Structure 1
Amino acid sequence: MKEAVFRFCTSIDTITLTRPVKDGDILVSNGETFALGFFSTANFSNRYVGIWYNKVPEQTVVWVANRDSPITNSSGILSVDETGNLVLQDQQGQSFVFWTTNVSGAVNDVSSSQLLDSGNLVLFQGQNREVYSWKSFDYPSNTFLPGMKFGLDKKTGLNRVITSWKSSGDPGVGDYSYKMEFVGSTQLFLYKGMKKIWRTGSWTGDRWSGVPDMNTNYLYNITYIDNNDEVVIVNIISNSSIFSRFVLNNFGTIESTTWHEADRKWVAFWSAPADRCDGYNHCGPFGLCGNPNRIGAFECDCLPGYEPQSHQDWYLKGWFQSV
């Protein structure tokens, strides 16, 4: 997000039992692409632990730990405890836990957490650094990053969901969510609360049927995986020097943006829903949406062979009454 307030002191990429992150410290990934630390949004004093782009001058938060549990002062400390978990506490007594990874594991004093150059914060329990006991990519905030799996882990039942911020100044879980669903053909759905407002359509083998902008010249190489372990999509950016992300903003729009260094700003090259005709079931089950900007004409028509159940409702734009 924009206009966040950060404080910088020390720099390293790993958290251990004896090396916590205090408010003012910063972790920087090995390739210096991402950073982790405490931040406040513009005009607010609450403190959050987040991950942001290290080399982008417009501070852009891509993940937040304590979204709905802000710290009201600068006494926060993020550490790995004796149970091998990441824990965010108040260092003025450490009596209240604002956030924790809460994974089970053997009690040990050699666990650590590392910020990878993909933007993934991972947790190792014990000395085996090839197996992650927890990773932030499994618990996204409002951003889908390249390399992140989006969808269902069949073994654990974890379905990764992106949720909007409440507002530009409040990273708490907002009204909108974006998730994969499996009733019928696998699709991605955008929700406002419990209401479906947009969908991608089914996977055709190289793209989502409802996203015609996806083609061979698309910025991402998209892999769809459906096997005994998982059903997920993974976006791999074709040029690793490009900073790009999918964001579900607090207005209910999914945007794919890239950082343009020459203009020093994020530029959107795709977004959805594009207009009212993009809305899920906007014209009813047998309706056809035309140009929503037409003057003097309805944007919805019945498909050939159908007519409105209620002409009165239809002329009052009750298009769900078509049959």
Structure 2
Amino acid sequence: MVYKVSVEATDTCVVAQLLDTGIGFVDDRSKSTVWESFDHPTDTMLPGMKLGLDRRTGMNRFLISWRSAADPGTGNFSLQINPKGSPQAFIYWGTKYIWRGCPWPLKSYTDISNVSFVNNQNETYMTYSVSDASVILRVMLDYSGLVRNLIWHEKDGKWNEFWSVPKSPCDPYGRCGTYGICDPHFFSRRFECDCLPGYEPKSPREWNILKDASGGCVRKRLESTLLCGHGDGFVKVANVKVSDTSAAVWASTNMSPRDCEKNCMRNCSCSAYASIDIAGKETGCLTWYGKLMDTVHNGEEGYDIYVRVDAVELGNVFLPSTNFEQNQCV
């Protein structure tokens, strides 16, 4: 159905139309879209919608929760793409991080939905499509701060949830503090938090007895062993959601793993690096400077990150059951 809308104070006639990209207002003369609903999402993201930044127009599309289940007023939570470093999605409570998604570029995997992450000089955004046209799917930011994937079940006449975050013990942002690493499959250790190689708990009592990792980890032998240029190197931590990439730097989107390692080694401020395949390009080199935060074991969907350690740590023999591997730089 098409509705004609008059716009006061101009001679322009605007037509409201149901477009492929949502409800839009189209200039009847120029046929250009002057406004469309997909550019102004509320708490729900539908297939084809973009979540993120259009650098050409300055438009930032993000989800914002309801105030409560019965009140559609502006709530406390938002789901936004942070374009800094290597872009990633965050759930915010006001300005505080609650949960962080995997950064660009995403690894592809088979699911009911196909998620795309576009990052170029004009736009940075996420979008998704549904592989089965018979499936009605929506992504909703709940008033309680949950991002929920919901499928419409015609037989039951209701939306059923098949995925949501934050959910696991490792989902809350920075669960194990700085230089910590969280393992959602921690049952054999009784605590989901560990320290990255070369680091130890800042407060052993809080960590080991109270199971409070908020203080994070600090480098072992902080005063007695020099870190840079004295036999230091890197230890691989395999298959993780890499540390928060907001302050990370792409040294290059076309660099071999060996050159990526050398690039990080040359700079004493480089605390870690990752060599990551970028679809349609080559292998990129992502580098971290300063603290590493929110590293999580992520199975096959994760990447490998190489953490800088001193010569003593590099010489240690790690237990076969760990995911840490030595990689000395020469």
Based on CA coordinates, which of the two structures has the bigger radius of gyration? 2
Give the aligned residue type for 2:81.
Answer: M
Partners of 2:83 and 2:124 within 8 A in 1: no
Per-residue deviation at 1:203?
2.3
Residue among 82, 106, 113 paired with 2:8? 82
Partner of 1:9: none
Residue identity over aligned pairs, in percent, reads: 39
Partner of 2:127: 234
CA distance in structure 1 between the partners assigned to 2:182 and 2:94 by the alignment: 24
Per-residue deviation at 1:261?
1.2
Per-residue deviation at 1:292?
8.6
Per-residue deviation at 1:240?
2.5
Partner of 2:70: 169
CA distance in structure 2 between the partners assigned to 1:284 and 1:169 by the alignment: 36
Partner of 1:320: 214
CA distance in structure 2 between the partners assigned to 1:159 and 1:177 by the alignment: 12
Partner of 1:301: 194
Per-residue deviation at 1:243?
1.2
Residue among 100, 105, 109 paired with 1:204? 105
Matched, 1:277 2:170: yes
Mind listing any 5+ residue stretches in structure 1 that lack a counterpart?
A: 1-12, 18-79, 84-106, 208-214
Matches within 5 A, 1:66-145: 80-83=6-9, 107-116=10-19, 120-129=22-31, 131-145=32-46
Partners of 2:12 and 2:29 within 8 A in 1: no
CA distance in structure 2 between the partners assigned to 1:292 and 1:225 by the alignment: 31
Partners of 2:89 and 2:102 within 8 A in 1: yes
Per-residue deviation at 1:317?
4.5
Partner of 2:138: 245
Q: Secondary structure at the match of 2:38?
A: helix
Per-residue deviation at 1:183?
1.5
Per-residue deviation at 1:294?
5.8
CA distance in structure 2 between the partners assigned to 1:226 and 1:288 by the alignment: 27
Moved more, 260-269 or 285-294: 285-294
Distance of aligned partners of 1:168 and 1:282 in 2 relative to their CA distance in 1, 3 Å threshold: same
CA distance in structure 2 between the partners assigned to 1:224 and 1:191 by the alignment: 19
Per-residue deviation at 1:231?
2.0
Distance of aligned partners of 1:147 and 1:296 in 2 relative to their CA distance in 1, 3 Å threshold: closer
Per-residue deviation at 1:320?
2.5
Matches within 5 A, 1:220-231: 220-231=113-124
Distance of aligned partners of 1:254 and 1:187 in 2 relative to their CA distance in 1, 3 Å threshold: same
CA distance in structure 2 between the partners assigned to 1:139 and 1:157 by the alignment: 13
Task: Summarize deviations over 1:209-259 as a string: whole Å, max 9, x none.
Answer: xxxxxx12x112233333343222221212223211000001111111111
CA distance in structure 1 between the partners assigned to 2:106 and 2:94 by the alignment: 30
Partners of 2:176 and 2:193 within 8 A in 1: yes
Partners of 2:105 and 2:117 within 8 A in 1: no
Task: Summarize deviations over 1:30-72 as a string: whole Å, max 9, x none.
Answer: xxxxxxxxxxxxxxxxxxxxxxxxxxxxxxxxxxxxxxxxxxx
Q: Secondary structure at the match of 2:33?
A: coil
Per-residue deviation at 1:134?
0.8
Residue among 112, 130, 153 paired with 1:260? 153
Q: Secondary structure at the match of 2:167?
A: coil
Partners of 2:7 and 2:13 within 8 A in 1: no
Matched, 1:184 2:85: yes
Per-residue deviation at 1:293?
8.8
Q: Secondary structure at the match of 1:133?
A: strand
Q: So what's the TM-score if we normalise by structure 2?
A: 0.59
Partners of 1:276 and 1:292 within 8 A in 2: no
Per-residue deviation at 1:297?
3.8
Partners of 1:275 and 1:292 within 8 A in 2: no
- Aligned residue pairs, count: 216
CA distance in structure 2 between the partners assigned to 1:231 and 1:299 by the alignment: 33
Per-residue deviation at 1:304?
4.1
